[in-house]
Protein backbone atom coordinates (compact mmCIF):
# COMPACT_ATOMS: atom_id res chain seq x y z
CA UNK A 1 0.00 0.00 0.00
CA UNK A 2 2.65 2.51 1.02
CA UNK A 3 4.53 1.62 -2.16
CA UNK A 4 1.87 3.51 -4.10
CA UNK A 5 2.34 6.70 -2.10
CA UNK A 6 6.11 6.22 -2.23
CA UNK A 7 6.01 6.33 -6.02
CA UNK A 8 3.89 9.48 -5.93
CA UNK A 9 6.35 11.28 -3.68
CA UNK A 10 9.27 10.12 -5.84
CA UNK A 11 7.79 12.16 -8.66
CA UNK A 12 7.60 15.28 -6.53
CA UNK A 13 10.67 17.51 -6.63
CA UNK A 14 12.43 17.33 -3.31
CA UNK A 15 12.54 20.43 -1.19
CA UNK A 16 15.74 22.35 -0.61
CA UNK A 17 16.60 20.78 2.72
CA UNK A 18 17.20 23.07 5.64
CA UNK A 19 19.17 21.52 8.51
CA UNK A 20 16.98 20.40 11.39
CA UNK A 21 17.50 22.09 14.72
CA UNK A 22 17.26 19.16 17.11
CA UNK A 23 17.41 21.62 20.00
CA UNK A 24 14.07 23.12 19.03
CA UNK A 25 11.38 20.69 17.94
CA UNK A 26 8.67 22.45 19.94
CA UNK A 27 6.42 22.93 16.93
CA UNK A 28 2.92 21.66 16.30
CA UNK A 29 3.65 20.77 12.67
CA UNK A 30 6.23 18.20 11.54
CA UNK A 31 9.37 19.02 9.61
CA UNK A 32 7.85 17.05 6.71
CA UNK A 33 4.27 15.70 6.57
CA UNK A 34 5.21 13.11 3.91
CA UNK A 35 7.31 10.73 6.06
CA UNK A 36 10.40 12.61 4.86
CA UNK A 37 10.14 11.60 1.19
CA UNK A 38 10.82 15.18 0.14
CA UNK A 39 14.01 15.23 2.24
CA UNK A 40 15.45 11.81 1.39
CA UNK A 41 14.67 8.24 2.44
CA UNK A 42 12.04 7.77 5.16
CA UNK A 43 13.52 5.99 8.15
CA UNK A 44 11.10 3.06 7.92
CA UNK A 45 12.19 2.47 4.30
CA UNK A 46 15.80 2.39 5.45
CA UNK A 47 14.92 -0.37 7.92
CA UNK A 48 12.83 -2.29 5.39
CA UNK A 49 15.79 -2.33 3.00
CA UNK A 50 18.09 -3.49 5.82
CA UNK A 51 15.71 -6.36 6.65
CA UNK A 52 15.38 -7.52 3.04
CA UNK A 53 19.13 -7.25 2.51
CA UNK A 54 19.70 -9.48 5.55
CA UNK A 55 17.34 -12.14 4.16
CA UNK A 56 18.08 -11.80 0.45
CA UNK A 57 18.94 -15.53 0.29
CA UNK A 58 15.19 -16.22 0.68
CA UNK A 59 14.29 -14.11 -2.36
CA UNK A 60 14.42 -16.57 -5.24
CA UNK A 61 12.16 -18.61 -7.52
CA UNK A 62 8.58 -17.36 -7.72
CA UNK A 63 8.74 -14.06 -5.81
CA UNK A 64 5.60 -12.09 -5.05
CA UNK A 65 5.02 -8.46 -4.03
CA UNK A 66 2.00 -6.21 -3.69
CA UNK A 67 1.38 -3.68 -6.52
CA UNK A 68 4.97 -3.76 -7.90
CA UNK A 69 8.16 -5.84 -7.89
CA UNK A 70 10.81 -3.27 -6.97
CA UNK A 71 12.13 -5.03 -3.86
CA UNK A 72 12.12 -8.40 -5.65
CA UNK A 73 14.32 -6.95 -8.36
CA UNK A 74 16.56 -5.07 -5.93
CA UNK A 75 17.25 -7.92 -3.52
CA UNK A 76 16.35 -11.11 -5.38
CA UNK A 77 18.75 -13.61 -6.94
CA UNK A 78 17.85 -16.45 -9.27
CA UNK A 79 14.28 -15.18 -9.47
CA UNK A 80 12.38 -17.16 -12.09
CA UNK A 81 9.14 -15.18 -11.93
CA UNK A 82 8.39 -11.70 -10.64
CA UNK A 83 4.79 -12.00 -9.47
CA UNK A 84 2.64 -8.98 -8.53
CA UNK A 85 -0.58 -9.22 -6.53
CA UNK A 86 -3.33 -6.61 -6.65
CA UNK A 87 -7.10 -6.55 -6.29
CA UNK A 88 -7.39 -4.95 -9.74
CA UNK A 89 -5.82 -5.72 -13.09
CA UNK A 90 -2.82 -3.62 -14.07
CA UNK A 91 0.14 -3.52 -16.40
CA UNK A 92 2.41 -5.51 -14.07
CA UNK A 93 -0.21 -7.48 -12.12
CA UNK A 94 0.14 -11.24 -12.51
CA UNK A 95 -2.26 -12.34 -9.76
CA UNK A 96 -5.58 -10.58 -9.31
CA UNK A 97 -6.71 -11.40 -5.82
CA UNK A 98 -7.49 -10.33 -2.27
CA UNK A 99 -5.43 -11.58 0.67
CA UNK A 100 -8.59 -11.81 2.76
CA UNK A 101 -10.26 -14.11 0.21
CA UNK A 102 -8.42 -17.41 -0.31
CA UNK A 103 -10.75 -18.36 -3.17
CA UNK A 104 -9.20 -15.52 -5.20
CA UNK A 105 -5.63 -16.73 -4.58
CA UNK A 106 -3.62 -19.61 -6.06
CA UNK A 107 -2.45 -22.18 -3.52
CA UNK A 108 1.13 -23.34 -2.95
CA UNK A 109 2.58 -21.21 -5.76
CA UNK A 110 5.04 -18.72 -4.23
CA UNK A 111 8.59 -19.33 -3.00
CA UNK A 112 8.97 -15.91 -1.38
CA UNK A 113 6.32 -13.31 -0.61
CA UNK A 114 7.67 -9.83 0.16
CA UNK A 115 4.80 -8.05 1.91
CA UNK A 116 5.95 -4.70 3.29
CA UNK A 117 3.77 -2.29 5.29
CA UNK A 118 0.54 -3.91 4.11
CA UNK A 119 -1.18 -5.80 6.93
CA UNK A 120 -1.67 -2.59 8.95
CA UNK A 121 -3.94 -1.30 6.15
CA UNK A 122 -6.15 -4.42 6.18
CA UNK A 123 -8.87 -4.49 8.84
CA UNK A 124 -9.08 -8.30 8.89
CA UNK A 125 -5.31 -8.68 9.06
CA UNK A 126 -5.34 -12.21 10.51
CA UNK A 127 -7.32 -13.52 7.54
CA UNK A 128 -4.90 -11.67 5.25
CA UNK A 129 -1.94 -13.42 6.92
CA UNK A 130 -3.73 -16.73 6.37
CA UNK A 131 -4.04 -15.71 2.70
CA UNK A 132 -0.29 -15.13 2.55
CA UNK A 133 0.27 -18.59 4.06
CA UNK A 134 -2.10 -20.07 1.46
CA UNK A 135 -0.08 -18.56 -1.42
CA UNK A 136 3.25 -20.01 -0.30
CA UNK A 137 4.66 -23.35 -1.35
CA UNK A 138 5.66 -25.70 1.48
CA UNK A 139 9.03 -24.31 2.54
CA UNK A 140 8.14 -20.91 1.09
CA UNK A 141 9.02 -17.77 3.02
CA UNK A 142 7.01 -14.69 3.91
CA UNK A 143 9.13 -11.58 4.49
CA UNK A 144 6.74 -9.06 6.00
CA UNK A 145 7.08 -5.70 7.70
CA UNK A 146 4.49 -4.11 9.95
CA UNK A 147 4.10 -0.52 11.12
CA UNK A 148 5.11 0.17 14.70
CA UNK A 149 5.61 3.69 16.06
CA UNK A 150 4.76 5.65 12.93
CA UNK A 151 2.17 8.25 12.02
CA UNK A 152 -1.07 7.60 10.19
CA UNK A 153 -0.73 7.51 6.40
CA UNK A 154 -3.40 10.00 5.33
CA UNK A 155 -3.18 8.79 1.72
CA UNK A 156 -3.97 5.19 2.63
CA UNK A 157 -6.47 6.10 5.33
CA UNK A 158 -8.58 8.01 2.81
CA UNK A 159 -8.53 5.19 0.24
CA UNK A 160 -8.67 1.81 2.03
CA UNK A 161 -7.99 2.54 5.69
CA UNK A 162 -5.08 2.63 8.11
CA UNK A 163 -6.15 0.40 11.00
CA UNK A 164 -3.32 -1.12 13.01
CA UNK A 165 0.07 -0.63 14.66
CA UNK A 166 1.94 -3.71 15.86
CA UNK A 167 4.44 -4.74 18.51
CA UNK A 168 6.92 -7.60 18.42
CA UNK A 169 4.67 -9.43 20.89
CA UNK A 170 1.48 -9.08 18.84
CA UNK A 171 3.31 -10.06 15.64
CA UNK A 172 4.83 -13.13 17.28
CA UNK A 173 1.42 -14.22 18.54
CA UNK A 174 -0.57 -13.86 15.33
CA UNK A 175 2.10 -15.14 12.93
CA UNK A 176 2.91 -17.97 15.34
CA UNK A 177 -0.74 -19.04 15.37
CA UNK A 178 -0.76 -19.29 11.57
CA UNK A 179 2.77 -20.45 10.68
CA UNK A 180 3.72 -22.13 13.95
CA UNK A 181 5.93 -20.60 16.62
CA UNK A 182 8.96 -22.62 15.52
CA UNK A 183 8.70 -21.25 11.97
CA UNK A 184 8.86 -17.50 12.62
CA UNK A 185 11.48 -14.88 13.40
CA UNK A 186 10.53 -11.43 14.67
CA UNK A 187 12.87 -8.41 14.51
CA UNK A 188 12.25 -4.87 15.76
CA UNK A 189 13.93 -1.89 14.09
CA UNK A 190 14.12 1.55 15.67
CA UNK A 191 15.04 3.60 18.71
CA UNK A 192 13.74 6.75 20.38
CA UNK A 193 15.76 9.03 18.09
CA UNK A 194 14.66 7.36 14.85
CA UNK A 195 11.07 7.27 16.12
CA UNK A 196 11.32 11.02 16.60
CA UNK A 197 12.80 11.35 13.12
CA UNK A 198 10.02 9.49 11.32
CA UNK A 199 7.28 11.27 13.26
CA UNK A 200 8.88 14.58 12.28
CA UNK A 201 9.53 13.49 8.67
CA UNK A 202 13.31 13.70 9.06
CA UNK A 203 15.03 11.44 6.55
CA UNK A 204 17.51 8.63 7.11
CA UNK A 205 20.21 10.64 5.32
CA UNK A 206 20.01 13.25 8.09
CA UNK A 207 20.98 10.69 10.75
CA UNK A 208 24.32 9.06 11.50
CA UNK A 209 24.82 5.34 10.77
CA UNK A 210 25.29 4.58 14.47
CA UNK A 211 22.03 6.37 15.22
CA UNK A 212 20.14 4.33 12.63
CA UNK A 213 21.77 1.04 13.55
CA UNK A 214 21.07 1.18 17.28
CA UNK A 215 18.01 -0.98 17.97
CA UNK A 216 15.88 -0.52 21.09
CA UNK A 217 12.95 -2.99 21.19
CA UNK A 218 10.93 -0.55 23.31
CA UNK A 219 10.80 1.89 20.36
CA UNK A 220 9.99 -0.12 17.21
CA UNK A 221 9.38 1.80 14.00
CA UNK A 222 8.79 -1.40 12.09
CA UNK A 223 8.35 -5.03 13.08
CA UNK A 224 9.89 -7.43 10.56
CA UNK A 225 8.70 -11.01 10.23
CA UNK A 226 10.28 -14.00 8.55
CA UNK A 227 7.77 -16.83 8.45
CA UNK A 228 8.25 -20.22 6.78
CA UNK A 229 5.38 -22.42 5.63
CA UNK A 230 5.92 -25.88 7.08
Kindly indicate the confidence band of residue 97, based on its pLDDT and cuts at 50, 70 and 90.
Answer: very high
Structure confidence at residue 14 (pLDDT): 55
Phi, psi of 60 (to 5 degrees): -155, 170
Structure confidence by residue, pLDDT tens digits, 14-66: 555 777 777 677 889 999 999 999 999 999 999 999 999 999 999 999 999 99
Sign of the dihedral through C-alpha 70, 64, 146, 57? negative
- Side-by-side strand order, sheet with 184-189: 95-96, 79-86, 61-66, 110-116, 136-147, 222-228, 184-189
Q: What is the pLDDT of residue 19?
A: 76
SS3 per residue for 5-48 = HHHHHHCCCCCCCCCCCCCCCCCCCCCCCCCCCCCCCCHHHHHH
What is the model's pTM? Answer: 0.90
| Number of alpha carbons in the 13 Å side-chain half-sphere of residue 101 | 9
- Assess whether pLDDT exceeds 90 at residue 3: no
How high is the mean pLDDT of the chain? 92
pLDDT in tens, 120-160: 999 999 999 999 999 999 999 999 999 999 999 988 999 88
The CATH number given to 58-189+220-228 is 3.40.50.150
Amino acid sequence: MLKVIRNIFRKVKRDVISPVSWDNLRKLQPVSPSFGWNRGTPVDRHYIAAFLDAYRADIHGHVLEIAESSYSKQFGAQVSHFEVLHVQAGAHVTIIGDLTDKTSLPADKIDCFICTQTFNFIYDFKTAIEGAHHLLKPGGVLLATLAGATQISAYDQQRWGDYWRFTAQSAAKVFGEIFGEANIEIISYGNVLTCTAILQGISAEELLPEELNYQDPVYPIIIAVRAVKA
